[in-house]
Structure 1
Amino acid sequence: MTWVRKSKTKPNGKKPPAEEKKQYLEAEFTKVRVVDFDLKELVILPREIDLNEWLASNTTTFFNLINLQYSTISEFCTGDTCQAMTACNTIYYWYDERGKKTKCTAPQYVDFVMSLVQKLVTDDDIFPTKYGKEFPNAFESLVKKICRYLFHVLAHLFWAHFKETVALDLQGHLNTLYAHFIVFIREFNLVDPKETSPAR
């Protein structure tokens, strides 16, 4: 009955290449953290703080941290190595102000994200810094948009550049940042859970 079993040898007589191990799934790398702390405690809204103030403060911090984390591997993320903005089986497209869908390289996408977020978080009409100045009505939807884009960057870092992150011995920082960010966006329902599925 050997003719019923599928052969592991290709028709040309060669064995298929062994599937490369995914370091971001290996316990020795995923357990590494910078802090051993309950991250949920860091994201819970303090009683004395306004929700929008809390969202603004955390969103700005995550923007800076994700931008910094990306900068550590940016020399490896090029138009040649990352011809599309991907994470697992997902390709992320950029949508311009008019809603036009554009496929771009990962470094272009990250540049679009970081430029947009920088513009938003430094706009005092959107992220007010003066006491008593009101947040805009659409503030929460803007925070959701920012967090969604920042998640795309984190997902790409894990999926496409975890090997480089490990080589730089920065996986603890990436793991901690990722876990902290996920706990934050889940606490305040900022990103649709379906959106975060590529990095599960």
Structure 2
Amino acid sequence: MSQKKKKQSSNAREFSTLVQRRGTRNMKHKKLSSLSQRTWHVLGSDNLKEAIKCPPAEDMNEWIAANTFDFLNEVNILWGNCIDPEAHNRYLEPGSGFPKGVTYRWSNDQDNLTAPEYVEIALIWVDDQCSNQDIFPDTEKEEVKYPEDFVDNYVKEIFKKLFRVFCIFYWSYKDDMGENVAHLNTCFRHFIYFALHHGLLPDEKELQPIEKIVTRLKSDFARKSVLPSKNDT
């Protein structure tokens, strides 16, 4: 096997191993898990209002936290189980694998990332945020208090990172997913509907790489006439 082939094979295994090691440890709070599972149970029906609205008598921050955990887990599944690891070998050059005309940067000293590297860093970062009990407190304890800036400072940034990962999926990996594209579309529809309903959608500049998909989902969302629950007002 040539050195290039060995490097490519090692690269593919590296990304796969990182995802498997993280697993789904964020679903550690029973109440959050129960709320999140309820969402996906309803999602298969035509009544998406029930899938994205905060249930009566539930705390809004807790509902948003539950779904944030769930979105991270679903994206991890897509990344780790629905994409052939060998597909990463197409994107070995710095700056490769990103949507056309876009390069996502993490910090000034990591400007030369590939798209697979960015996805890994983003998912690990989101995982760390969700595992930080100063941000996502243990709901089994009494008098749980979320940070005052929980949504504006933390959740919105998490949603921006996850949206970028979805952009990379659609631009660079959709053709590798086969029948799993249906699952990608379902996950993204749920993500966009939830973000629209709860004011978590990134700004217009972030939406540009997959603007046509987002515009269509926005139109679908508007036709659903999703009304706010009492907890949403």
Say yes or no: TM over 0.5: yes
Kindly provide the CA deviation profile for residues 73-114 of structure 1, in whole angstroms up to 9, marking residues without a partner as x. Answer: 16112442784352243222113xxx7672411111111111
Kindly provide the CA deviation profile for residues 5-59 of structure 1, in whole angstroms up to 9, marking residues without a partner as x. Answer: xxxxxxxxxxxxxxxxxxxxxxxxxxxxx94534343111222111110110000
Counterpart of 1:135?
Answer: 146
**In the alignment, is the contact (CA less than 8 A) between 1:128 and 1:135 conserved in 2?**
yes
Choose the corresponding residue for 1:198, options 209, 214, 222.
209
TM-score normalised to structure 1 length: 0.73
**In the alignment, is the contact (CA less than 8 A) between 2:156 and 2:202 conserved in 1?**
no
Q: Closer, same or farther in 2 for the Cα pair 1:38/1:184, shift >3 Å?
A: same
Counterpart of 1:144?
Answer: 156
Which structure has the highest strand share of the two? Answer: 1
Q: Closer, same or farther in 2 for the Cα pair 1:82/1:183, shift >3 Å?
A: farther
Residue ranges of structure 2 left out of the alignment (5+ in a row): 1-42, 213-233
Identity of aligned residues (%): 30
TM-score normalised to structure 2 length: 0.63
The alignment status of 1:119 with 2:131, answered yes or no, reads no
**In the alignment, is the contact (CA less than 8 A) between 2:98 and 2:114 conserved in 1?**
no
**In the alignment, is the contact (CA less than 8 A) between 2:52 and 2:193 conserved in 1?**
yes
Q: Closer, same or farther in 2 for the Cα pair 1:100/1:184, shift >3 Å?
A: farther
**In the alignment, is the contact (CA less than 8 A) between 2:94 and 2:113 conserved in 1?**
no
The alignment status of 1:93 with 2:105, answered yes or no, reads yes
Larger mean CA deviation between 44-53 and 75-84 belongs to: 75-84
Residue ranges of structure 1 left out of the alignment (5+ in a row): 1-33
Letter in 1 for 2:162: L
What's the C-alpha RMSD, in Å, of the aligned pairs? 2.2
Q: Which structure's relative contact order is higher, taking Cα pairs within 8 Å and 6+ residues apart?
A: 1
**In the alignment, is the contact (CA less than 8 A) between 2:84 and 2:176 conserved in 1?**
no
Runs of 4+ in structure 1 displaced over 6 angstroms?
A: none
Counterpart of 2:88?
Answer: 77
Letter in 2 for 1:150: L
Q: How many residues align?
A: 162
Counterpart of 1:54?
Answer: 63
Q: Closer, same or farther in 2 for the Cα pair 1:50/1:36, shift >3 Å?
A: closer
Structure 2 distance, partners of 1:81, 1:158, is: 19
Structure 2 distance, partners of 1:116, 1:198, is: 22
**Which structure has the bigger radius of gyration?**
1
**In the alignment, is the contact (CA less than 8 A) between 1:92 and 1:103 conserved in 2?**
no
Counterpart of 1:172?
Answer: 182
